[in-house]
Amino acid sequence: MRFTISHLRERLEFFPIVADRVWDFTWKAKGVSLEQVSAGLRELIANEIFPFALVAHDGERYVGSTLGIASDLDERPEYAPWVAAVWVEPEGRGQNIGRSLVSQAAERLLQTFQRAYLCARPARHDFYARQGWVPIEYEVGEKRLTVFIKE
Protein backbone atom coordinates (compact mmCIF):
# COMPACT_ATOMS: atom_id res chain seq x y z
CA MET A 1 0.00 0.00 0.00
CA ARG A 2 1.27 3.46 -0.87
CA PHE A 3 0.79 6.07 1.81
CA THR A 4 1.87 9.54 2.82
CA ILE A 5 2.34 10.90 6.32
CA SER A 6 1.17 14.46 6.91
CA HIS A 7 0.74 16.73 9.89
CA LEU A 8 -2.95 16.59 10.79
CA ARG A 9 -3.01 20.40 10.81
CA GLU A 10 -2.36 20.24 7.06
CA ARG A 11 -4.99 17.56 6.36
CA LEU A 12 -7.97 18.59 8.47
CA GLU A 13 -10.33 16.38 6.49
CA PHE A 14 -8.91 13.50 8.58
CA PHE A 15 -9.56 15.26 11.90
CA PRO A 16 -12.87 13.48 12.71
CA ILE A 17 -11.46 10.00 12.15
CA VAL A 18 -8.22 10.68 14.07
CA ALA A 19 -10.27 12.05 16.98
CA ASP A 20 -12.52 8.99 16.85
CA ARG A 21 -9.59 6.53 16.85
CA VAL A 22 -7.84 8.30 19.75
CA TRP A 23 -11.13 8.42 21.68
CA ASP A 24 -12.11 4.82 20.99
CA PHE A 25 -8.69 3.34 21.73
CA THR A 26 -7.79 5.41 24.79
CA TRP A 27 -10.52 7.56 26.27
CA LYS A 28 -13.92 5.95 25.66
CA ALA A 29 -13.52 3.33 28.42
CA LYS A 30 -12.51 6.11 30.86
CA GLY A 31 -15.80 7.93 30.32
CA VAL A 32 -14.29 10.83 28.37
CA SER A 33 -16.52 12.06 25.55
CA LEU A 34 -15.55 12.25 21.90
CA GLU A 35 -16.23 15.98 22.10
CA GLN A 36 -13.66 16.37 24.89
CA VAL A 37 -11.07 14.42 22.91
CA SER A 38 -11.81 16.51 19.82
CA ALA A 39 -11.33 19.73 21.80
CA GLY A 40 -7.98 18.50 23.11
CA LEU A 41 -6.90 17.42 19.65
CA ARG A 42 -7.80 20.86 18.26
CA GLU A 43 -5.53 22.48 20.85
CA LEU A 44 -2.78 19.98 20.10
CA ILE A 45 -2.67 20.63 16.35
CA ALA A 46 -2.67 24.39 16.85
CA ASN A 47 1.04 24.14 17.70
CA GLU A 48 3.73 24.47 15.06
CA ILE A 49 6.30 22.03 16.48
CA PHE A 50 5.07 20.31 19.64
CA PRO A 51 2.74 18.70 20.47
CA PHE A 52 1.64 17.31 17.13
CA ALA A 53 -0.55 14.79 15.35
CA LEU A 54 0.51 12.83 12.27
CA VAL A 55 -1.87 11.12 9.88
CA ALA A 56 -1.03 8.39 7.37
CA HIS A 57 -3.21 8.38 4.28
CA ASP A 58 -3.47 6.81 0.87
CA GLY A 59 -4.72 9.78 -1.08
CA GLU A 60 -8.01 10.65 0.59
CA ARG A 61 -8.21 7.41 2.60
CA TYR A 62 -7.15 7.39 6.26
CA VAL A 63 -4.84 4.50 7.15
CA GLY A 64 -3.34 5.49 10.52
CA SER A 65 -2.20 8.15 12.94
CA THR A 66 -0.06 8.95 15.97
CA LEU A 67 0.57 11.80 18.38
CA GLY A 68 3.63 13.48 19.85
CA ILE A 69 2.59 14.64 23.33
CA ALA A 70 4.05 15.70 26.67
CA SER A 71 2.70 12.83 28.79
CA ASP A 72 1.06 9.50 28.03
CA LEU A 73 1.29 7.55 31.27
CA ASP A 74 -0.14 8.94 34.51
CA GLU A 75 2.12 6.63 36.49
CA ARG A 76 5.25 8.21 34.95
CA PRO A 77 4.79 12.00 34.80
CA GLU A 78 8.57 12.49 34.94
CA TYR A 79 8.98 11.04 31.43
CA ALA A 80 8.49 13.38 28.48
CA PRO A 81 7.80 13.64 25.56
CA TRP A 82 5.91 10.63 24.22
CA VAL A 83 4.96 9.00 20.93
CA ALA A 84 1.35 8.08 21.70
CA ALA A 85 -1.93 6.80 20.30
CA VAL A 86 -0.34 4.84 17.44
CA TRP A 87 -3.16 3.45 15.32
CA VAL A 88 -3.22 1.67 11.97
CA GLU A 89 -6.45 0.59 10.34
CA PRO A 90 -6.75 -3.22 10.24
CA GLU A 91 -6.40 -3.43 6.43
CA GLY A 92 -3.13 -1.48 6.61
CA ARG A 93 -1.39 -3.51 9.28
CA GLY A 94 1.81 -5.30 8.36
CA GLN A 95 2.60 -2.77 5.63
CA ASN A 96 5.09 -0.54 7.49
CA ILE A 97 2.51 2.15 8.24
CA GLY A 98 2.85 1.87 12.02
CA ARG A 99 6.63 1.66 11.77
CA SER A 100 6.71 4.78 9.59
CA LEU A 101 4.38 6.73 11.88
CA VAL A 102 6.44 5.86 14.95
CA SER A 103 9.69 6.64 13.16
CA GLN A 104 8.54 10.05 11.93
CA ALA A 105 7.06 10.97 15.30
CA ALA A 106 10.28 9.97 17.09
CA GLU A 107 12.39 11.92 14.59
CA ARG A 108 10.30 15.06 15.18
CA LEU A 109 10.58 14.67 18.96
CA LEU A 110 14.31 14.02 18.90
CA GLN A 111 14.89 17.22 16.90
CA THR A 112 13.73 19.17 19.96
CA PHE A 113 14.25 16.84 22.92
CA GLN A 114 17.10 14.57 24.02
CA ARG A 115 14.89 11.52 24.30
CA ALA A 116 11.40 10.22 23.57
CA TYR A 117 9.23 7.64 25.30
CA LEU A 118 6.40 5.34 24.37
CA CYS A 119 4.47 2.65 26.17
CA ALA A 120 2.93 -0.50 24.81
CA ARG A 121 1.26 -3.73 25.79
CA PRO A 122 3.65 -6.68 26.11
CA ALA A 123 2.41 -8.14 22.82
CA ARG A 124 3.87 -5.12 20.98
CA HIS A 125 7.31 -5.32 22.68
CA ASP A 126 9.13 -6.84 19.69
CA PHE A 127 7.56 -4.37 17.25
CA TYR A 128 9.14 -1.43 19.09
CA ALA A 129 12.39 -3.17 20.04
CA ARG A 130 13.06 -3.91 16.34
CA GLN A 131 12.82 -0.15 15.71
CA GLY A 132 15.52 0.64 18.24
CA TRP A 133 13.28 1.48 21.20
CA VAL A 134 14.81 0.24 24.46
CA PRO A 135 12.54 -1.06 27.23
CA ILE A 136 13.23 0.63 30.56
CA GLU A 137 10.27 -0.56 32.66
CA TYR A 138 7.87 -3.47 32.55
CA GLU A 139 4.35 -4.04 33.86
CA VAL A 140 3.64 -0.39 34.63
CA GLY A 141 0.12 0.54 35.72
CA GLU A 142 -3.09 -1.43 35.56
CA LYS A 143 -2.55 -2.29 31.89
CA ARG A 144 0.93 -3.66 32.76
CA LEU A 145 2.59 -1.66 29.98
CA THR A 146 6.21 -1.67 28.91
CA VAL A 147 7.85 1.77 28.81
CA PHE A 148 10.41 2.33 26.06
CA ILE A 149 12.96 5.08 25.44
CA LYS A 150 14.77 6.30 22.35
CA GLU A 151 17.67 8.75 22.56
CATH number of residue 30's parent domain: 3.40.630.30
Q: Give a yes or no: residue 90 inside a domain.
A: yes
As for how many domains the chain has, the answer is: 1
What is this structure's pTM? Answer: 0.95
Q: How far is it, in rounded angstroms, from Cα 97 to Cα 99?
A: 5
The residues near 140 (Cβ < 8 Å, ≥ 6 apart) are 73, 75, 76, 119, 146, 147
Instruction: Report how far Cα 135 is from the mean position of its chain's Cα atoms.
Output: 17
Q: Which domain holds residue 53?
A: 4-109
Q: Give a yes or no: residue 150 inside a domain.
A: no
pLDDT in single tens digits along all 151 residues of the chain: 799 999 999 999 999 999 999 999 889 999 999 999 999 999 999 988 899 999 999 999 999 999 999 999 999 999 999 999 999 999 999 999 999 999 999 999 999 999 999 999 999 999 999 999 999 999 999 889 999 999 9
HSE-CB at 103 with a 13 A cutoff on CA atoms is 11
| β-sheet bridge partners, residue 146 | 120
Q: Give a yes or no: residue 72 inside a domain.
A: yes
Contact between 116 and 81 under an 8 Å Cβ cutoff? The reply is: yes
Q: Give a yes or no: residue 24 inside a domain.
A: yes
Task: Return phi, psi of residue 112, to 5°.
Answer: -110, -35
Q: Give a yes or no: residue 118 inside a domain.
A: no
